[in-house]
Amino acid sequence: MNASRRLAVASVLLMLLAVAVPVISVGFSDESSAAVDGSSDYYFQQLDTDGKKMYNMILDKAKAVTDPSDPDQLKVTFDKDDFGGVTTPSVESGLKSFHAFYYDHPEVFWIPNGITYGYLGDNITSITFSCTANDSATLATQKEKVATGTEKVKVDAEFTYGKVKQIHDWIVSNTTYDTESVGRDDAYMAHNIYGVLVDKTGVCESYARTFMYLCQMNGINSIVSIGKGVSDDGSEDHMWNYVQMEDGLYYCMDPTWDDPIDQNGNDTGKVYYNYFLKGADNVYKGRAFTASHKDEMKSENGLNIPELSKDNYRLQPDGQEHLEAALENKDEQGMRSATYTIEVADIDQIREYIGEGGTALVQTENFQFRLTCEDLKKIKEKLEAESIASVTFGGTKESKDIQALKTPSVTRTVDVFTPAISTGDIASLGLSEMTVGIAVKMQQFDLNIFMYAWDVTDPDNPEKIKAEYSDGYEYFTVTELRTYCAGNNPIAPGIETPFVFIIAGLAAAVIILLLLIRSLLRRRKIKKMAKTMAKSSRNMQHYGQLYSERSLSSNERKAYIKAKKIYAKSHKDEK
């Protein structure tokens, strides 16, 4: 006997008033497989053969709906001949296929999560959809408005992180949480992408499905998940996202909770990042993400979520949005190699890793080449134009006799460094200048503030250059690569570190001056105390008693001795 059952639409929401660091390890993943129509196949891939067949039948039927007033357009019929001729799949399998479709396809927004299904025994025979519209004209208008709304969302960042941030920020900035639609099964638009993209309002399902949809539209894998949102006030049904970044890992995302309402139910108008690309173990307000977002996708629908990164994504809007990443090769003893080669094919991945404001530090045995994200972009463009597949950085270090400063008859033997690039000069990389560091070991009495660098390409005519010392390197920005040396005046004719002795002398002079000032101030204080003591015989008797009892401080004892002289002299003059 055929029968039908009604599946209720789960209402999903939860609002919190919310306010929200990375280990550098360069690693790259394969290109994203996200679909440009806003859909995913993440849950589809978890189905068995029959489940996938039902999923595709549901998807084809749902996408083909143009006139919801025609009952046949809203009904998918399963025939046993489609599944081997014995029987149709189980009801459980059919519902799992529908839910996989529903959570994979936010772009099919006109089919809500409310269906009826027919069954025979334990086997499913049909699924009948609901629809957000009652006629073809209304549905066509809804589709057109969503298309227009989608076009208004500008996502033009170059890298995955920037795109994800733009999508998150657009949703939070342009959407007001729809408190009136909470718990209403008939408030279809508040639960799909129409709510955010067109009405600019919706519940958490609208936020999450729109975030997934826009990510997939921009080539970024993202999925939705359901469960309980847990706070100090209790728990409620909720929907949020997981997004896969270029490192291949999935991170937690909740745009709804990053758009909190105040105690009066009003939108705060602020964008928060408390639930932005967080790791599963990230704790906010005393709860890890997986504790505040209790996932029920498996228990409710038999579908699995991906393995989540335990740590936050390395870039964070409210913290570090760009990195310095060391590019280097080391041997088993931890020693850097003499050269480092960047493959042109890897440049975009390096740039994405460090972020748009980041810096790649190409480190070799004796040199460091600082390349910004923009520098790397120019290098890639230049080398591709020249059909060059890679560029190698390195250089030489040697001892050389250099003319001492202002002393023509004296030379000094010092270490000199000549950085080099396999393509030639700096201009060969499409750059006008480059920041280079040479590895300089500070001597015993060297001081950071007096570390200098010289261009000694002409050993008979050293030229001082503007430089800065940091963490074992003397850095300078140059327009061409030449030969350099550095240190606390390493090419002076006499003492290697004269500034140390100058500083020591100045420090001694300052100390002596401070001691003299202290002595003068102490004498003035004692003199003032003595005058106060000598004003009357009563004072003298009081302090005399304290003096004999050894109850006075050192300064007070000296002042009392001086006061006796002042008192005696004043009384002698009176006589």
Residues 6+ apart with CB under 8 A from 499: 447, 450, 488, 489
**98: confidence class by pLDDT, cuts 50, 70, 90:** very high
Q: What is the pLDDT, as a whole number, of residue 5?
A: 29
Say how far apart CA 410 and CA 106 lie, in whole Å.
Answer: 79
**What element of type H or E holds 558?**
helix 554-574
Q: What is the pLDDT of residues 210-255, one digit of tens each?
A: 999 999 999 999 999 999 999 999 999 999 999 999 999 999 999 9
Domain 324-496, architecture per CATH? Sandwich (2.60)
Percentage of residues in the chain with pLDDT exceeding 70? 87
Say how many C-beta atoms besides its own lie within 10 A of residue 430's C-beta.
17
Cα 390 to the center of its chain, rounded Å: 29
Q: Kindly tell me if the per-residue pLDDT of 320 is higher than 50.
A: yes
Please, are residues 467 and 436 in contact by the beta-carbon 8 Å criterion?
A: no
Q: How far is CA 490 from CA 285, 446, 497, 504, in A?
A: 56, 10, 8, 19
Tokens of 525: 């204080």
Question: Which 3 state secondary structure label does DSSP give 273?
Answer: coil
| Residue 21 token pair | 């660091």
The SS3 call for residue 274 is: coil
Which tens digits make up the pLDDT trace of 464-483?
Answer: 899 998 888 999 999 999 99
* Percentage helix, strand, coil for the chain under 3-state DSSP, each rounded to 5: 35, 25, 40
Q: Is the whole model's pTM more than 0.85, yes or no? A: no
Token duo for residue 108: 């099919």
Q: Is residue 32 a contact partner of residue 219, using CB atoms and an 8 Å limit? A: yes
d(CA 112, CA 368): 57
Q: Which structure tokens are listed for 81?
A: 């001949």
And the tokens for 3?
């029968």
What does the pLDDT read at residue 7?
Answer: 31
Percentage of the chain lying above the pLDDT 90 cut = 65
Three-point CA angle 521, 527, 530, nearest 5°: 145
In this structure, the dihedral spanned by the alpha carbons of residues 213, 215, 218 and 220, taken in order and rounded to 10 degrees, is: -130
* Alpha carbons 68 and 330: distance in angstroms, whole number: 65
* Residue 361, beta-bridge partner list: 326, 370
Instruction: Kindly list the strands in the beta sheet with 222-231, ordered across the sheet, starting from the edge strand earlier in the chain.
Output: 250-253, 234-244, 222-231, 293-295
3-class SS at 441?
coil
Q: How far apart are CA 552 and CA 546, in angstroms?
A: 6
C-alpha of 529 from chain center: 63
Q: What is the DSSP letter of 88?
A: P
Across 114-123, 180-189, 346-355, 434-443, least confident range: 180-189
For the cut 90, the answer to whether the pLDDT of residue 436 exceeds it is yes
Token reading at 299: 């228990």
Whole-number pLDDT of residue 447: 61
Closest CA to 125 of 73, 87, 70: 87
The C-alpha torsion from 222 through 226 and 227 to 229, rounded to 10°, is: 60
Delimit the domains of the chain by residue range.
2-301, 324-496, 500-574
